[in-house]
Structure 1
Amino acid sequence: MKNNTYAAYEIQVTKHIEPYFRNHKVLIGQITPKLLEEYYTDKLREGLSGRTIRKHASNICAALDDAVKNKIIAVNPCMVADKPSIERFSGNMLDEAQLYEVFSQTRNSRIHIPVVIAAFLGLRRSEVLGLRWSAIDFEHKVIHISHTVVKVKKGLQFSDLPKTKSSRRTLPCPEQLLYFLQKVKKSQVISYIKNQKTYCRRYLQYVCVDELGDLIKPDTLTNDFAKIINKLGYKCRLHDLRHTCASLLIRQGIPMKQVSVWLGHSSTAITSDIYVHLSFQDKIETADVLNHSIHIPDYEKKI
């Protein structure tokens, strides 16, 4: 199991599953299909998506399968409990003007660097926080995505094993981003020299650090971003910067396969499933072109 996956499972169990059943004072042999369905409903009310709750259900089911195997219970109640449906993705992407406004609002904040990088490259939170200077080849203008930083129960976990094999990728760096990163590196060197006594040396190899060299933490990035978005009156999660990047590419006519590779999806099918509503817009535009290019005799008269 990948470290990122384990960290996600750990959060599901410690933050949601274990507290819920402990608070209900339910032993494993007392878990019923009805109780599981109540758990799913409660989590939906808390704002979790159907897709996320189904992941919870998979973890619960695996634990109860193990209980059956070890003869603690006779039947796994997950097998008959109804799970929430998985809604089709509907993210809140930003347009070019809104994205520019977000950049402007974060400019003097500690999260400006990861926000800009995430938007340009469509990186996951773990990938952007895991970006190291050694991964940026300024001479050849490429960036290697091969390291992640994730939050775990005991703190942070650093890993050279991305979410999937396709997540390990090399991307050509856009000129604006390259120039931005050069300025960031120069600024960090100056800050290090100026604050040698207080500058954090532990994260010198990482790009996304604050003015005193401390690594931007996952929760800090998510929470600070949410505050700025709320201030602007937009509806957008940090992860929606990844969707914003994909949306801009698709709307500019970049083929789905290229978008999939850029995002580090394991297959084009995943990309297509998530962004089908965007690609369908292209088909509508195509239909409009045909409508204005082909004329049926006496069409207007028959209307």
Structure 2
Amino acid sequence: MLLPDQNWKLAEYLDYWLGRAVNAERRPNTHKRYEVVVRLHLKPALGKKSLQQLSVRMVEDFYRKLIAEGTSRNTVYQAKKVLSATLTHAMRQELLLRNVARLAEMPQYKPKEAQYWTAQETIAFLSAAQSDPLYHALALTVLYGLRRGEVLGIRWRDVDFEKSVLRIRQQIQRIGGALREVELKTDSSVRDEPLLATARDVLMKQRAKQQAARLIAGIDWLGAGTEDELVFTTRTGNPIEPRNLYRSFHRIIESHGLRRIKLHELRHTNGTAQKDLNVPATDTQAILGHSSVSTTHLYQHVSLSHKRDALEKVENHLFAQQLAEGEAGSRQQLPSSQQIYRRMISPTSGGPTGIRTQDTRLKRPIQQTLNDRLTSVDQVMRDRKRAWKLGCVAVNFTVKDSGLELAA
């Protein structure tokens, strides 16, 4: 526990936090990102202030200044994240009573939505990539949605051909000017994947390719030559630079005129493909190695084709009659009997025409009136015929009673 009576400057506490808390809890690359934010932004602007001097307004002014200087909103967001984490640590050490970084409002930040490929675009990429030296690594990246450090960190001991299991256990990253094998991003990133037929074929071909490279390199081969050896290596057995996988990916895109996305967005492509195939989100979470299903939802996008499918269902449900009439109209030049009927009754009823719903309260009385009229005419004719016959009988009786005879 730190002494609360020490007058900590923010710059001093940031160094303490980076050296003690971040080194112990975070991955090396995370520490590196935090250190850049501290060195370039937090220390120059707020470093001379004591922890107790920091105020909400002071921090809000800091955010606005960064934006006014043209700093990206993502960098401003990272600065708030680092400052907030530092002050939270100070609260746990009982040096502060509140976290002004959390209380301060910053301009709204909405990250750009990630891009992804459709199934057709992904297939086109895989076809174009087959001649690339790193095709096998890219194929596994597409199939499993692996991070680039994960696919380059696979060792032969992680591939179980007998049990058909592919284990993701470590990753390769460049840290401090050297390639290092480090832990995965989160505990959830440690996972076992089924060794699919495509993956098995790709890995068998990669093993043969690596063995051939080892024979050519001879004594210059730097790999271990055992099951601990990395699956994907250079011609001399060294780990592959993650940036080289990135470069191969974009070289293939540019040379074949494919739509440009980021290498990491192949994970979004994989997640969206699983969503389109109705894979449960919890299964996708386990496959991609996310710590929560809410993160997985960020990797699943609604494609235009699925929007079309959904809206076509709505269209068919609500506009089926109009669609049927439109199709019938396209097959014949003469109007349909239903259309003729509408034209006949519209001038009489004043009811709506076209695609609007017909007023059944107007249509039904008109149909009943026509029937009533025919019945009424028949009834009148019957009544008049009956009256005429009765009249004739009455006249006959009258003439006979008076003794008069009528001319024939």
Q: TM-score range, shorter-chain basis? A: 0.7 to 0.9
Instruction: Look up the SS of the partner of 1:197 in the other structure.
Output: helix
Q: Deviations over 1:59-105 (max 9, x none)?
A: 22333556788899998652454335453662211223432443355
Matches within 5 A, 1:148-159: 148-153=171-176, 155-159=178-182
Match of 2:262 among 203, 221, 237: 237
- Distance apart, 1:53 and its partner CA: 4.8
Match of 1:186 among 182, 204, 208: 208
Contact 2:214–2:221 under 8 Å retained in 1 = yes
Contact 2:161–2:200 under 8 Å retained in 1 = yes
Q: Deviations over 1:140-166 (max 9, x none)?
A: 32211122223323533423x433333
Contact 2:142–2:267 under 8 Å retained in 1 = yes
- Distance apart, 1:215 and its partner CA: 1.0
Per the alignment, residue 10 of structure 1 pairs with 31
Q: Deviations over 1:230-261 (max 9, x none)?
A: 45352211100111111122112222222222
Matches within 5 A, 1:158-197: 158-159=181-182, 161-197=183-219
Instruction: Look up the SS of the partner of 1:213 in the other structure.
Output: coil
- Distance apart, 1:267 and its partner CA: 2.5
Larger radius of gyration: 2
Instruction: Look up the SS of the partner of 1:170 in the other structure.
Output: strand
Q: Is 1:35 aligned to residue 62 of structure 2?
A: yes
Q: Deviations over 1:179-212 (max 9, x none)?
A: 1111011110111112112222158611221232
Per the alignment, residue 131 of structure 1 pairs with 154
Output the aligned Cα RMSD. Answer: 3.8
In 2, the alpha carbon distance for the partners of 1:262 and 1:224 equals 25
Instruction: Look up the SS of the partner of 1:28 in the other structure.
Output: coil
Per the alignment, residue 221 of structure 1 pairs with 245
Contact 2:27–2:185 under 8 Å retained in 1 = no
In 1, the alpha carbon distance for the partners of 2:128 and 2:25 equals 30
Per the alignment, residue 267 of structure 1 pairs with 292
Instruction: Look up the SS of the partner of 1:134 in the other structure.
Output: helix
Match of 1:119 among 139, 142, 147: 142
- What amino acid does structure 2 have at the position aligned with 1:206? L
Contact 2:214–2:237 under 8 Å retained in 1 = yes
Closer, same or farther: CA 87–99 of 1 in aligned 2, 3 Å: same
In 1, the alpha carbon distance for the partners of 2:123 and 2:320 equals 45
Contact 1:110–1:216 under 8 Å retained in 2 = no
Total equivalences in the alignment: 296
- Distance apart, 1:40 and its partner CA: 5.7
Closer, same or farther: CA 27–255 of 1 in aligned 2, 3 Å: closer
Per the alignment, residue 78 of structure 1 pairs with 101
Closer, same or farther: CA 43–177 of 1 in aligned 2, 3 Å: farther
Q: TM-score, normalised by structure 2?
A: 0.60
- What amino acid does structure 2 have at the position aligned with 1:185? R
* More deviation, 121-130/204-213: 204-213
Closer, same or farther: CA 26–254 of 1 in aligned 2, 3 Å: closer
Closer, same or farther: CA 125–298 of 1 in aligned 2, 3 Å: closer
Closer, same or farther: CA 190–16 of 1 in aligned 2, 3 Å: same
- Distance apart, 1:282 and its partner CA: 4.9
Per the alignment, residue 255 of structure 1 pairs with 280
Q: TM-score, normalised by structure 1?
A: 0.78
Instruction: Look up the SS of the partner of 1:38 in the other structure.
Output: helix
Instruction: Look up the SS of the partner of 1:59 in the other structure.
Output: helix
- What amino acid does structure 2 have at the position aligned with 1:35? F
Closer, same or farther: CA 220–62 of 1 in aligned 2, 3 Å: same
Contact 1:129–1:148 under 8 Å retained in 2 = yes
- What amino acid does structure 1 have at the position aligned with 2:269? T
Contact 2:28–2:175 under 8 Å retained in 1 = yes
- What amino acid does structure 2 have at the position aligned with 1:117? L
Match of 2:170 among 147, 152, 160: 147
Q: Is 1:302 aligned to residue 362 of structure 2?
A: no
Matches within 5 A, 1:197-208: 197-201=219-223, 205-208=229-232
Instruction: Look up the SS of the partner of 1:29 in the other structure.
Output: coil
Identity over the aligned pairs, expressed in percent?
Answer: 19
Contact 2:116–2:266 under 8 Å retained in 1 = yes
Question: Comparing both chains, which one has the higher relative contact order based on Cα–Cα distances under 8 Å and sequence gaps of 6 or more?
Answer: 1
